[in-house]
Amino acid sequence: MENFQIIYPLGFPPKDESGVMFFNNISNNTMFERFTFGFPPYLICTRARPEQPKTKKHPSPNLVIPDNQQLKATENTHTHTHTRTQVTRLVNQRPNTSTTPMFRSLKLKRSLQSIITNTQTSHFNQTLKPQISSQLNLIRHFSSPPPPPTPPPLSAASSTSSELRKYLGYSALLLSCAIATYYSFPFPENAKHKKAQLFRYAPLPDDLHTVVNWSGTHEVQTRVFLQPESLEELEAIVKDANEKKQKIRPVGSGLSPNGIGLARGGMVNLALLDKVLEVDKEKKTVRVQAGIRVQQLVDAVKEYGITLQNFASIREQQIGGIVQVGAHGTGAKLPPIDEQVISMKLVTPGKGTIVISKDKDPELFYLARCGLGAFGVVAEVTLQCVERQELVEHTFVSNLTEIKKKHKKLLNDNKHVKYLYIPYTDTVVVVTCNPISKWWSPAKFKPKYSLDEALQPIRDLYQASIEKYRGQSMASSSTAENETKISDLTFTELRDKLLAIDPLNKDHVKKINEAEAEFWKRSEGYRVGWSDEILGFDCGGQQWVSETCFPAGTLSKPNMKDLKYIEDVMELIDKEEIPAPAPIEQRWTASSKSLMSPASSSSNDDIFSWVGIIMYLPTTDARQRKQITEEFFHYRHLTQARFWDQYSAYEHWAKIEVPKDKDELAALQARLRKRFPVEAFNKARAELDPNRILSNAMLEKMFPSDDNASM
């Protein structure tokens, strides 16, 4: 407990150690931890720490830290890139130090006023007065610089009894704080905002980084955010952190909806290690630093006539991040993206820098390829690419009955295929992408409707909804934004605005879905473009998402469970009246040999279906976001309870949410053990990262081991 200082709550002994002054004195390199001790008054502990490893003062172009302004500006481009300076700006937006004392003293004055009023008729007036005035001294300390004269001393007897009362008061306060602490901790998950409330006015150190995931659903604050510029620097960071047992969880672009890359203890980010190191045109392979973003990589290798085999909906992920979570695109013959990794250079805390591949330590290679950032910082990746391709995208609208008839053909005949289901309608949007053939001529396929015509139904609904909700408080925030011309909004922006009006009203959501179905009907047609452009998808704004992966048979013999799963989900939505927005996205991949991949299988023939359910967070209003969050978790829980075991469905690693409830957590751990080699995973971690500096609470909860008591 060296260098341990305690900041007392206001009016708590000793009087001359006023908490506020301590706040002002917190220096930049003081690591401080905060504890609430009971309620309103809080006990804050600061502990001087040896200086932290310095954070690079370079911008982090890859880190995604959305703020509301930026989200508005770039909602549909998915390029919410902030710099580290902006991280600091986010922090600095909070009220500055000087507001803290004033805020507290005002509160105290108000309570004193009530004490004075209440005690005016009391026969304890005599003895109370000095106490009040001594507290008033305290107020003046905070609100105006010169302290008032000290009140005259009391007689010995009254001083003893007032001392006694004072210490009785202190004891009572201490006891009630302890009781409140006992009953308030741990805060339930949904009390996060309450915790934040307590410290809303507290100043934050300049070098505190706020890191938020793309959806704004997970956030950490840390003072250790390292961005090495060279492999040597990364190696030194890992070595040093391991010696000091300092957490440095690898984080990529921070896109994972569940914030799996975030850690309060500290993070390392490879945004500045983003070079293409080697291209082998013959073999169509590329060796890159793992901090390179997918789009950057694709742009850099296109001059060699090659590209990645498949893409996720967006291309802002770092290669390290997209591989480590086993991300995927769609195409029943195409495996998830990790399967394209030929070798990886890992900087590990336990064994230094190692290179692993199919030939060199295959066991570890297949375990660490989709390794969730647990085995080492992936510094370099060699990827198998494919020839650069132009694709023809075909979008058409169908329904489940029709789809059932041609499902096998759709899976087999198309390089990429996905279905978008629209709850409360029978619409299934089918999107296929295939290499352009010499017979294909765009002139033959003129779209029936212009974009304006396709958007008209949703624009009309927006106008009608504004009218309908006019005057209702619920709609006020979104109608205020009416000055943005409706005609300037994309489909997903309009959907977000419509949802923001009344996000949990099933009938309202149903109307939006119907307008969406009509939009897709009017958007039927063809599009041609390079694979990296065509395979992207505008996923809309911030959102909660749960995506599961389950076996769907083989290409030659699809088991049709994928379509049954959808039928079940649609039935559930109807029956439970879930305000489920569109789309429910269904995609397919071939299997992966990575042992931790949800599509892991030793058989090349197996295919897997990936189904994502969603609820958007179209508002910045904390209360509304909380309500949507609760509704989403209810929706997710229902699908989990009814279908996951039945279909052997497992969540995407970037989308799995770890439950707070002990029993649910135990059930999740048991499920994960059934599907994944958790023992081997933990054993390899123990060797490569013995001090768990690369881990975070989420990993420890999912994969507990006997020696993680220190986490």
Ligand X SMILES: Cc1cc2nc3c(=O)[nH]c(=O)nc-3n(C[C@H](O)[C@H](O)[C@H](O)COP(=O)(O)OP(=O)(O)OC[C@H]3O[C@@H](n4cnc5c(N)ncnc54)[C@H](O)[C@@H]3O)c2cc1C
Which residues lie near ligand X (CB under 6 A)?
78, 214, 249-256, 260-261, 270, 290, 312-314, 317-318, 320-322, 324-325, 327-328, 372-373, 377-378, 539, 652, 654
Q: What CA–CA distance (Å, rounded) separates 682 from 692?
A: 10
Q: What one-character DSSP code corresponds to residue 584? A: E
Q: What one-character DSSP code corresponds to residue 394? A: E
In the chain, the amino acid numbered 114 is: S
Closest separation between CB of residue 224 and ligand X, Å? 15
Q: What is the 3-state secondary structure (H, E, C) of 630-657?
A: HHHHHHHHHHHHHHHHHHCCEECCCCCC
Closest separation between CB of residue 91 and ligand X, Å? 20
For ligand X, the closer of residues 139 and 699 by Cβ is 699
Closest separation between CB of residue 523 and ligand X, Å? 20
Closest separation between CB of residue 56 and ligand X, Å? 16
Q: What tokens appear for 178 in the block?
A: 């302890």
Q: In 3D, which of 707, 691, 688, 685 has the Cα closest to residue 241?
A: 691
Closest separation between CB of residue 373 and ligand X, Å? 2
Closest separation between CB of residue 294 and ligand X, Å? 9
For ligand X, the closer of residues 101 and 373 by Cβ is 373
Q: What CA–CA distance (Å, rounded) separates 100 from 691?
A: 39
Dihedral sign for Cα 380, 384, 390, 396, please. Answer: negative
Closest separation between CB of residue 313 and ligand X, Å? 4
Q: What CA–CA distance (Å, rounded) separates 234 from 58?
A: 15
Would you call 355 exposed, middle or buried from its count of C-beta atoms within 10 A (0-12, 13-18, 19+)? Answer: middle
For ligand X, the closer of residues 139 and 377 by Cβ is 377
For ligand X, the closer of residues 184 and 682 by Cβ is 682
For ligand X, the closer of residues 314 and 417 by Cβ is 314
Which residues make Cβ contacts (< 8 Å) with residue 709, sequence separation at least 6? none
For ligand X, the closer of residues 7 and 224 by Cβ is 224
Q: What CA–CA distance (Å, rounded) separates 328 from 326?
A: 7
- Residues belonging to the chain: 711
For ligand X, the closer of residues 252 and 503 by Cβ is 252
Closest separation between CB of residue 710 and ligand X, Å? 20
Distance of CA 235 to the CA centre of its chain: 27
Closest separation between CB of residue 98 and ligand X, Å? 36
Helix (H) or strand (E) holding 99: helix 99-119
State how far the alpha carbon of 278 is from the alpha carbons of 129, 219, 321, 346, 382, in Å: 80, 36, 20, 17, 9
For ligand X, the closer of residues 317 and 479 by Cβ is 317
Closest separation between CB of residue 256 and ligand X, Å? 3
Q: What one-character DSSP code corresponds to residue 546? A: E
CA 368-372-374 angle, 5° bins: 70
Residue 594 phi/psi, 5-degree rounding, is -70, 125
Q: What tokens appear for 109 in the block?
A: 């004055």
For ligand X, the closer of residues 141 and 369 by Cβ is 369
Which residues make Cβ contacts (< 8 Å) with residue 250, sequence separation at least 6? 261, 267, 268, 269, 270, 320, 324, 373, 377, 378, 694
Closest separation between CB of residue 184 and ligand X, Å? 31
Number of H helices, E strands in the chain: 23, 23
Q: Biggest alpha carbon distance in the chain?
A: 106
Which residues make Cβ contacts (< 8 Å) with residue 341, sequence separation at least 6? 323, 369, 381, 382, 383, 384
In the chain, the amino acid numbered 652 is: H
Closest separation between CB of residue 96 and ligand X, Å? 31
